[in-house]
Chain A
Amino acid sequence: MITRRETMAMGLGAATITLIPISVNAAADDAIAAYTGGASVSEGGVMITAPEIAENGNTVPISVEAPGAAEIALYADGNPTPGVAVFKFGPAAGSHRASTRIRLGGTQDVVAVAKMPDGSFQQAAVEVKVTIGGCGG
């Protein structure tokens, strides 16, 4: 027999579970804030090329490009650790673009933050739908 108190406790448990995605996004926001040092980030200026649907979350091809950028940082806001990679372009770089393959634990936004030489930041995000997650779970 389930008492009223137990029912309420279960409801509380469910509420906690639904809160988790929000805290994960906050982790990504924190990681981005740590990277930018709290500076404001404007939208645009970065191009992300990613598949709309990735069947295998273990290797998702991602390409980032930000003309003139000194660095591009890549984040996956739904992963257990949101940081993915930081590309620093040196004086011998032929362009400000790079491609790699990343792991995505599930359907989520991939965020690219570009650091411009004047110290300003620009970002773009793209949603990738993942059929099978790539976090070993």
Chain B
Amino acid sequence: MSDVKPRIRLPRTAKAGQAAEIKTLVSHVMETGLRKDSDGNTIPRMIINRFTCEYGGEMVLDMALEGAVSANPYVEFDIMIGEATEVVFTWYEDGGAVYTETKELSFG
């Protein structure tokens, strides 16, 4: 789907050795597969089923999502800042589509 748009907020200034908060939001309908359209047909499930955040080759968070996560899934978590600057975010959609976004930490 083309309307999948990730938004990510990293800490404004990163300091090595400190934990910092990351907020992510991806625009997505998160269709549960439980709803029916006006003709009574079940709308097939289409959700983001997995979200990962990697930093310096290591996993920060690996999240499995079900249909009970709200539309436009919002996730907030903490990262332990090290030497690396790149943080990689990946969203996996039902049907195999993968959306990746890379952000750079700015050290202050």
Residue A103, interface by CB 8 Å:
yes
Q: With A and B bound together, what is the CA distance between A10 and B20 in angstroms?
A: 59
Q: Are A94 and B80 in contact (CB under 8 A)?
A: yes
Report whether B78 and A58 are in contact in the complex, using a CB–CB cutoff of 8 Å.
no
Identify whether the interface residues of A are mostly helix, strand, loop, or mixed: strand
- Assess the B69–A85 pair: CB atoms within 8 A: yes
How many of A's residues come within 8 Å of B, CB to CB? 32
Taking CB atoms, residues of chain B closer than 8 Å to A90 are 54, 58-62
A14–chain B nearest beta-carbon distance, Å:
25
Would B58 and A91 count as touching, CB distance under 8 A? yes
What A residues does B69 contact at CB under 8 A? 84-85, 100-103
Cβ-closest chain B residue relative to A75 = B68
Q: Is the CB–CB distance between B32 and A135 below 8 Å?
A: yes
- Pairwise interchain contact A93-B66, C-beta atoms closer than 8 A: no
Residues of B with C-beta under 8 A to A76: 68
A-binding residues in B (CB < 8 A): 18-21, 32, 34-35, 54-56, 58-71, 73-82
16 A-B residue pairs with Cβ-Cβ distance under 8 Å, sorted by A, are A84-B69, A85-B63, A85-B64, A87-B62, A87-B77, A88-B64, A90-B59, A90-B62, A93-B59, A93-B60, A94-B79, A94-B80, A94-B81, A95-B19, A100-B73, A103-B32
